[in-house]
Amino acid sequence: MEITTERIKTAEGVEGFLARPKSGKVPALLVHFEIFGVNEHIQDVCKRLAAEGYAALAPDYYFRLEKRTAPYTDVKTAFGLALTLKDDQVMADIGSCLRYLESQPFVESGSIGTLGFCMGGRLSFLTATHHPKEIAAAVSFYGGGLAGENHREGQTINAMEEASKLRSPLLLLYGELDQHITPEHVDLFTERLKQLGKGYQSFVYRGAGHGFFCNERGSYNPTAAADAWQKTLEFLAANLKSSGPATP
């Protein structure tokens, strides 16, 4: 499938990277980055999703800063970037990006999902709880902070409390050896979802650590990454795609 990419700016000035099929009316996704920013990996994820028939927009929540990305080898700088983010402002930026997608002629009405990694995995979940009418599916790759663990200054929204607002199906993907999100954290969060009767799927990959999906990180696990990607595509297709793409 032929795709096109561009840098966009919403009406409120939020910037982002957009990849989409060159023609047709398709479902859309917000793709939330790790603490490292809208780097080559996140852009590649958007391109891969576009090749599968989605309009994938990665909001750049660091657009107000002079420095917007950090290499995977410089975790200190990446955490410094993340510390500049405040939940209320990020939620406002997410709302702006959703309105942008809803206004585009290439986006299929009622077919918007959300997907994110690490910090972005938490944001993906919060996008679904803050916009239950707009979000039809949510995916969280090793979402940090969902059970209240490792909270940073500025992260004022309690995901455990927000869970009651979830309406869309949710796909959770974790690594067994993740030192940041332990099995206890995973169990605590999924038990909360279970108690609330929410529709979710949770997979924990044996032998995989944090960041297992990213082929630019030392923790990359190709077997887990391939399976998680396949599960993600099946989940998104089941919840976002109709019988076939419409024409604009």
The catalytic residue positions are 118, 178, 210
SS3 15: strand
Q: CA triplet 200, 203, 207: central angle to 5 degrees?
A: 165
CA–CA distance, 8 with 58 (Å, rounded to integer): 10
Q: Which two three-digit tokens encode residue 29?
A: 């996704």
Q: Please list the residues that pair with 107 across neighbouring strands.
A: 26
Task: Give the phi and the psi of residue 7 in degrees, each rounded to 5.
Answer: -95, 130
SS3 224: helix
CA–CA distance, 200 with 10 (Å, rounded to integer): 31
How many other CB atoms sit within 10 Å of the CB of residue 14? 23
DSSP letters spanning 43-69: HHHHHHHHHTT-EEEEE-TTTTSS---
Contact 71, 51 (CB under 8 A): no
